Amino acid sequence: MSRQDPKPNADQSRVDAIRSTFDRYFDAWSGVHEELDADMKCLSMDGPWPEKERKARETPGNERPCLHEDVITQFNNITINQLEMNPMGIDVQPEGEGADEKTAEFVENRIRQIEYEQNGQHAYLTAGASAVNSSIGFWELETDWRSPFSWERYVCIRPIQDNKSVLVDPNCKKPDWADMGGAFKLSRITHDEFKQKYPNAKIQDFEGFIGKAGYQKWIDSKTVQIAAFWEVVKKRGSLLLVDDGTPEGWSMFELGGKLYDARDEDPDLSREIPGLKRNKNAVVISGDGYAEIGYEKGRAFPILRDSKRFVPQVKKCLTNGIEILEETDWEDEEIPILVVTGRVKFENGKRVIDSQTRKARTGQLLYDLCISSIQEEAARTPKFLWLGYEGQFDTSTDWRKAHREPAAYAEAKATTEENGSEKPLPLPQLVRSEPQISALLELKVSILLSIQNALGMSSTERKDRASKSGKALQQLQEDMNVATYHYHNSLRMAQLRQYRIINRLLPKIENTQREIGLRDVKGNYSTQEIGNNHYQQMGRHEVVISNAKYYQSLQEEQSDFAESLMGAVKDPMILMAVLPDLIRMKGLGVYGDDLAKMIEAMQPPQMQQARNGDKQEMSPAMVQQMVAQAQQAMQALNAHAKQLEQERDQLLMEKQAKTTELTLQKEIHEMDNAAKVEVATINASVKESIESIDAEVARIKHIADVLSAKFQLDHQSTENALDRAHEADLAQKQADQQQQPALVAQNQGAE
């Protein structure tokens, strides 16, 4: 785009027309967006539950489970991962005068490097994932300046995360959406952010527009909607066939009173043919620039054919729905919004775009209802064990713990006051309730299988059950790929359209002296200096999608193929040709690159010419010379390989000796550590035993001291008792002796 400062436009009628177009696009896409919202709600944390049902289940006092377990995302990820694992690359073919395989390779490598710099695969996969999850996805192309201080521009590939932020022309008919006549890219910013970003806007206060008819979608109390409106404007011109004296004539295009060279089917309308003007039914030379080739000033060339044509020109303007904030021209004829969709169909005259999620939304709701019923059934199971009459359990038996604590017996009242009867009541009844979960689990599995069938996919369990051979598993995988191929095809068309736009843009934005980056199909990066009008000098090229995988994904397969080729083919010429690339594919860094270059330097001249793209006829003598040179090179390589093998064997022996030495040192170290640990253990054990013996000796000594003291006390007590008994006996004997004469006299008197 041309560099311009933000410039307000007060053309109110145009702003009104843009708002009217926006309303028309918005209404046309409202049905798609409703289904898109339903898809994303189904994949959200809350799931596809209707709000009315969810609120009913959350009513206080009547709460019911409202669970969600996402089973769709795993299948969506399979399709998304298939897009990621099978990326597509660009293929440029020469077309038209001046183009050849070398120029085509240059354009291809340049566009591939732009993809690499801009991380294009991320933008493609973001759009593809949006299409799988919610029916439609987008990314966009832009051009921007290298820096605020540079005059060089570059191509930007930008992902679009919010697929509701884009509204494209609903009247598109082409499957790649290349015929869109308009498109909106929407974003919202706050009022303060608007004032900072667009200080030159005439209207900074939106108070009078809030709630006003026609502005509800653009202005609210906090935010302003900024729309980048892309519009295709068709300008009327004339395709002229001028008789310039040649058999085929000279095709020119007249636009706005200026003449442009139209001998190419894609003329550059930024470069006017100098010195020529139309005058009614002739083209007249108006300058002196053609005098050197014999055409004097004023000479007229008759116009043989004149056909009115319309030339598309794309304009982009930024608006807030009130005024035009900025306006620029886009250098290509197509709006650079790329679209990826699910399968498109029309129902009752309205466009319907399917997503993979949509096919399983009903099944997801049934699945969530089923698992909610399982929880509800489990929660509905009675939590009591025994059932009896009121007051019947009021005994010494604790019936609340009867199912936990064992007991010899249990008691229950035979009669209760409430019963009022002398007849004994029946014993309490043990209640056993089995929840109906098994049937619900079978229903859950059946619903899951129905979801898989609706998506055209098979689960791992079904694969294991139905397929026991690798061929059957491969067939199942192919069936899944076929069921989801339309997403891959839609992404392919969008990517191809992008490549064609970039191919047309490069001559217009890289038209000055500069150094650009290139990346070949093997991923090798290089730079090249280009001058003014470099692309115009190369001729026209046709851009297609390569059927092979993207070059990053091919590297491993290429390496495996090269290795198998090296082992199967004995021809030295083929081996010499394959070996350098095989070394590079191993990713050995600088060493590998240097080795590959040395081998390429040893290749015969004819092989080097073929590698560099030079074509030359080879005679039988040249072929024999190449074979001889290749054989010499192979002998040198074999000698070098033998030397490397000897060095390798020597290193292996040294490594083995060093390993043995280290192993012995490790064992000695481990034995030393084990001995130290054992000694420490014994010392600790001996110390513990000594301490234990000392404690035991102290205890025995203490007992002995106690017993000795007790013995002394008992012995002293015994001696004291004997002394007292002896003294008492002596006293008794003395008393008896003193009383004996009296007794004798008493006895004698009695006689």
Query: What DSSP line would sit under 284-328, residue for residue?
Result: EE-SSTTGGGT--TT-EEEEEEEEEEEEEEEEEEEE-SSSEEEEE
Does residue 131 belong to any structural domain of this protein? no
User: Alpha-carbon distance 707 to 700, whole Å?
Assistant: 10
Does residue 280 belong to any structural domain of this protein? yes
Q: Using the 3D structure, point to which of 291, 313, 335 is the last residue of a domain.
A: 313
Does residue 257 belong to any structural domain of this protein? yes
pLDDT for 553: 47
- Cα distances (angstroms) measured from residue 542 to each of 105, 185, 497: 12, 29, 12
Which residues in the chain come in under a pLDDT of 50?
1-9, 459-469, 473, 476, 548-553, 615
DSSP summary character for residue 627? H
Q: Using the 3D structure, point to which of 249, 279, 313 is the last residue of a domain.
A: 313
The runs of H, that is alpha helices, within 119-179 are 120-134
Does residue 253 belong to any structural domain of this protein? yes
Q: Using the 3D structure, point to which of 259, 280, 313 is the last residue of a domain.
A: 313
The contacts of residue 329 (CB under 8 Å, 6+ apart) are 1, 2, 313, 314, 315, 316
Structural domain boundaries enclosing 275: 238-313
Q: How far is C-alpha 573 from the geometric centre of its chain's CA atoms?
A: 44
Does residue 282 belong to any structural domain of this protein? yes
HSE-up (13 A, CA, CB side) for residue 189: 12
Sign of the torsion formed by the C-alpha atoms of 495, 500, 503 and 504: negative
Does residue 281 belong to any structural domain of this protein? yes
HSE-up (13 A, CA, CB side) for residue 587: 6
How many domains are contained in the chain? 2
Does residue 251 belong to any structural domain of this protein? yes
Does residue 309 belong to any structural domain of this protein? yes
